[in-house]
Chain A
């Protein structure tokens, strides 16, 4: 049973619009969350993180929102660019323990 779920395997968005990628988790002990981005034939690269003491973290065009009561986080990309087309993985961990990754969402940003 997956502890970290990304229920949308794929998402298509028009360039310049907002991309919203969702992630749900089941383990209430998770308190630190990461988003990774992965291009084909490359390893995942770190994008943004959030800890459970916050409900929002921003870095440029990327914002992650955390709703602890719903066990839900989302990644917003505004505005979306064609270079954002990649697979996005959500990862979660209880503090001090290894991360559990979601299955990923493939984002396609259409010009």
Chain B
């Protein structure tokens, strides 16, 4: 069965460190998204990609970057982790922009 996976599921890091969160989908979807979930804010869009080599900034992109070298993967990198980036991160994919998004299980990141 097709699926979307995230790794690691939990990560603790220190301020200033570079962190990369992995997202892998086997739906063969063109669109992939990264969100962060914080209490009172719901899901906020960090970055998204509509296809290989395409990346775009979302609502809360400062301090984050993504790259899309193939259809299946969209890793999210925190260049220099900050305590404000402590959150739960969700990756999602969809066939097109108007289609339902399928979400991964999430990564809980703690920045100390």
Contacts and interface: CB of A to CB of B under 8 A. Distances in A.
B42 A89 contact: yes
Interface residues of A, number: 26
B98 A44 contact: no
A43 B98 contact: no
Contacts of A6: 42
A84 B92 CA distance: 22
Nearest to B90: A43
Provide the main secondary structure of the chain B interface.
strand
A103 B40 contact: yes
Interface of A: 4, 6, 9, 32, 34, 36, 41-46, 49, 89, 91, 93, 95-104
17 contacts: A32-B98, A41-B106, A44-B43, A45-B103, A46-B102, A49-B100, A89-B42, A91-B43, A93-B98, A96-B97, A98-B48, A98-B97, A99-B101, A100-B45, A101-B35, A101-B42, A103-B41
Interface of B: 4, 33, 35, 40-45, 48, 58, 90, 92, 97-98, 100-106
